[in-house]
Structure 1
Amino acid sequence: MGIPVLVLGASGSGKSTSMRNFDEKEISIFNVAGKPLPFRKKLPIVNNATYNIIYKVLQNPKKKTYVIDDSQYLMAFESFDHAKETGYTKFTNMALNFKNLISFIITQTPDDCIVYFLHHTELTDSGQIKAKTLGKMLDNQLTVEGLFSIVLMTTVEGSEHYFVTQSDGSNTCKSPMEMFDMKIDNDLKLVDETIRDYWELNNNNKNTEKEN
C-alpha cells in the first residue's frame, strides 16, 4: 500500500523549494506545468507530465519517493482540453481521474512508495484555506483532502518558511498523532524520513528481505 501525501501552499511559498535536500538517486519529479525548479541542484524530472506518464512510471517504480508538482494542473489542463463541452459530466470525470490516481498509488504501489502532491491553495467563502480545484462543481464531486492521511501546508512569516502539520481551524492540514510537531522545517526530505520512521517503512523492507 503506497502513501500519497498532500502538500498545500500558495505560489512562491516554498513547495518546490522543499525538495532541495533530496539526492538525485532518492527522488523523481513529475513536473506537470514544465516549469524550472527554484534551485540549482539537478534532480530527475519529467516535464509536462500527464496522467498517462505518471501511471506508466508508477506501475513499475524504480524509486521510493516521487513528487507531482503542481498536481492541481492535472485537473486544470484537463479542464482546458474539455472547455467546449457542456454539461456536468466533465466535472465528474475530472474528479474521478484525480481520485483514481490517488487510489492507484494506495493500492498498486509498494508499501514504501511515497508520492507527494504539491498543490496550490484557495480560500473558501468562509475564509478557510483548502486545496485548489476548479470551483464548486468539482468540489461537489471531490473533497481532495479527504483522500489523504497527511496534509501539510507551506507557510511564510517574514523570511521564515515552514510546514504546518495540523489544522488550527483556518486550514485543512492533518497528520497522524505524534508524527510531527505543529510547525516543522520546510524540508520535504525531512518529512519523508519522518514518515518512513513513524510507519517503520524501512524496517518493513528489512523484514521482507529476511523472509525472502
Structure 2
Amino acid sequence: MAQKILIMGESGTGKSTSMRNCDPATTAVVNPVGKPLPFKAKFDMLNNETDARKITRYMKEQAAAGKKLIVVDDFQYILAVPYMNRIKETGWDKYNDFGANYFEIIDVCKDLPDDVVVVYMTHLETLDNGLTTVKLIGKLLREKITIEGLFTVVLRTGVNEGKYYFYTQNSGKDTVKSPLGMFPVYAIENDLAYVVDKVRNYYEIGEFKTDAEMSQADQAAATDLEKPDAKGRRSRTGRTKEEKLTPPTPKEEKPSRKTRAEVQAENEQKIAEHMAAVDEAIDKATGGAEEVPFDEAAAIADTVPKPDLQKPPRRTRKERQAEQEQAAETFVCTEDTCFYIPDADNYVKKHAGDESPKGGKVITEDEFNAGLKRIAQENNPNPVDGAMNPPEPHARGQRRRRTR
C-alpha cells in the first residue's frame, strides 16, 4: 500500500510550486485541468482528465514503470469539473457519482507498491463552525467520510511576509496533522521533495535517507515562524530555527518543600553542633583549664562560625489540622514528660500527675533541651551571651567550668 499525503491550501499559496525540487525521473503528475506548472519542469503528466478509472489506471502504470512519487494536483477539480458538466441535471444521483469518483482515486493507493508516495493537493474552505478543512461539493463526502481521516500526514500551505510555508501541526482551527516527531518545527519550507524524504525516512520506505542526512535537511527546511495562539497571534519568543531544532534540556526537579518541623529540627541540630564546637574551641585554646576568663571565652567563641539557621516556613493547612486534632486531646502524665507547643513555639516539661498542656506535642528530652537552646539562640544572636556563668564573687573575672 502506498503512503498518502494530503496538502491543502488556498490558490496561490505554493501547492504546485512545492514540486520544484522533485526529480522528474521518479515523479508523475495528474493534472485534472491541464494548467501549466508555475516553474520550468518536464514531468510525466496526465492532463485534462477527471475520470477515476483513467486516473487510477494511469497511477498504476506509472508505479509499475518505476515512478516513486505520484502527485494529484488540484484534487478538488475531480469534483468541480464533473459537477459543472452536469450542473443542469436534477436529482441526487450525480452527487453519488462525484463522491464515488473522488473516493476511488484515494482508495487506489492500497493497490500501489509500498515504496510509492502519493500526494493529493487540494483547495480548502472554512465551515460555519470556524474549522478549516478540504474543499468538497455536496454533503455526501463530508457527512459520510472524514477525508482527512484517510491520511496520516495532512499539511497546510501558508504565506507570511512574502514567504511560503507548510504548516505541520494543528492550530486548533484546522485539520492539519503529522506523526509525532516527524517534523521538527511548526512551519517548514514548502518543499515537497523534503516532505516526501521525511515520510520515507520516518517509515523506512524503499530507498530512504539516513537520520544524519535528514538532520541536515531539517536545518535547511526549518523556519523561524512560531505557532499562533488561540486568537491567531504568533508568539514573539524570538527563537531561531537552530534553537527549535535543539532538543530541550530537561528541567531540574525542584526540591520538595521542607515542613516546619523539619526546619526546626535542623536548626536545633545546628545549634547543638555549634555549642559543641564552642566548647571544643575553648578546651583547645585553654588546654582544658577548669576556669577561663569570661572575656577570653567569649572571644574564642566568636571565632567559631555561626550556624546558618533557616526561617521555619508557615505551617500548611494539613499540618495545622493535625496540630489542632492533637491539641484537642489532653491527658494526665504518668511520668515526667516533655512537650513542644507549636502555637506558642514553646517547650514545657510536666511531672507525673500533671495534665498535659493544651496543644502540646510529646517530644524526647533531647529534643526538649535542643529546643530550649534554639529559643535562647533566637532571642540572643550571640550564642555565648548568657551561656556562660557570670564571674563568681570570690574570683572576679573568672568562671568555673563544669567538670565533665
Fold shared per TM-score above 0.5: yes
Superposed CA offset, 1:106-145 (max 9, x none): x200001111111001111122211001144542233221
1:210 corresponding residue in structure 2: none
1:163 corresponding residue in structure 2: 166
1:17 corresponding residue in structure 2: 17
Q: For the residues of structure 2 that align with 1:163 and 1:185, how far apart are their CA atoms?
A: 6
In 2 relative to 1, CA 21–203 (structure 1 residues): closer, same or farther, beyond 3 Å? closer
2:4 corresponding residue in structure 1: 4
Q: For the residues of structure 2 that align with 1:92 and 1:154, how far apart are their CA atoms?
A: 30
Distance apart, 1:24 and its partner CA: 1.2
2:31 corresponding residue in structure 1: 31
Q: For the residues of structure 2 that align with 1:136 and 1:78, how far apart are their CA atoms?
A: 16
2:42 corresponding residue in structure 1: 42
Asked whether the 8 Å contact 1:4–1:116 carries over to 2, the reply is yes
SS in 2 for 1:59: helix
Q: For the residues of structure 2 that align with 1:59 and 1:119, how far apart are their CA atoms?
A: 21
Could you list the runs of 4 or more consecutive aligned residues of structure 1 that deviate by over 4 angstroms after TM superposition? none
Residue 144 of structure 2 aligns with an amino acid whose one-letter code is: Q
Residue 52 of structure 1 aligns with an amino acid whose one-letter code is: R
Residue 53 of structure 1 aligns with an amino acid whose one-letter code is: K
Distance apart, 1:22 and its partner CA: 1.1
2:195 to 191, 195, 198: 191
Asked whether the 8 Å contact 2:148–2:175 carries over to 1, the reply is yes
Asked whether the 8 Å contact 1:2–1:112 carries over to 2, the reply is yes
TM-score after normalising by structure 2: 0.48
1:55 corresponding residue in structure 2: 56
In 2 relative to 1, CA 109–131 (structure 1 residues): closer, same or farther, beyond 3 Å? same
Superposed CA offset, 1:184-211 (max 9, x none): 110000001110010000269xxxxxxx
Asked whether the 8 Å contact 2:16–2:37 carries over to 1, the reply is yes
Matched, 1:127 2:130: yes
Q: More strand per residue: 1 or 2?
A: 1
Q: For the residues of structure 2 that align with 1:24 and 1:71, how far apart are their CA atoms?
A: 20
Range with greater deviation from structure 2 (53-62 or 155-164): 53-62
Q: For the residues of structure 2 that align with 1:90 and 1:143, how far apart are their CA atoms?
A: 20
Q: For the residues of structure 2 that align with 1:53 and 1:150, how far apart are their CA atoms?
A: 26
For structure 1, the residue ranges without an aligned partner over 5 or more in a row are: 205-212
Total equivalences in the alignment: 203
Q: For the residues of structure 2 that align with 1:198 and 1:44, how far apart are their CA atoms?
A: 27
Q: For the residues of structure 2 that align with 1:147 and 1:97, how far apart are their CA atoms?
A: 16
Greater relative CO (CA pairs within 8 A, separation 6+)? 1
SS in 1 for 2:159: strand
Q: For the residues of structure 2 that align with 1:128 and 1:176, how far apart are their CA atoms?
A: 21
Q: For the residues of structure 1 that align with 2:151 and 2:200, how far apart are their CA atoms?
A: 16
Matched, 1:93 2:94: no
Distance apart, 1:52 and its partner CA: 2.9
Q: For the residues of structure 2 that align with 1:5 and 1:96, how far apart are their CA atoms?
A: 20
Residue 60 of structure 2 aligns with an amino acid whose one-letter code is: Q
SS in 1 for 2:21: coil
For structure 2, the residue ranges without an aligned partner over 5 or more in a row are: 209-404
2:76 to 61, 72, 79: 72
Residue 167 of structure 1 aligns with an amino acid whose one-letter code is: N
SS in 1 for 2:197: helix
1:150 corresponding residue in structure 2: 153
Asked whether the 8 Å contact 1:33–1:69 carries over to 2, the reply is no
Work out the percentage of aligned pairs sharing the same amino acid: 40
Q: For the residues of structure 2 that align with 1:183 and 1:156, how far apart are their CA atoms?
A: 11
Asked whether the 8 Å contact 1:99–1:147 carries over to 2, the reply is no
Distance apart, 1:160 and its partner CA: 1.3
Q: For the residues of structure 2 that align with 1:69 and 1:109, how far apart are their CA atoms?
A: 18
In 2 relative to 1, CA 86–142 (structure 1 residues): closer, same or farther, beyond 3 Å? farther
Asked whether the 8 Å contact 1:95–1:141 carries over to 2, the reply is no
TM-score after normalising by structure 1: 0.89
2:368 corresponding residue in structure 1: none
Q: For the residues of structure 2 that align with 1:192 and 1:163, how far apart are their CA atoms?
A: 13
Radius of gyration: which is bigger? 2
Superposed CA offset, 1:40-84 (max 9, x none): 233222211332332112223220101011000001112123323
SS in 1 for 2:206: helix
1:82 corresponding residue in structure 2: 86
SS in 1 for 2:79: helix
Range with greater deviation from structure 2 (16-25 or 94-103): 94-103
Matched, 1:174 2:177: yes
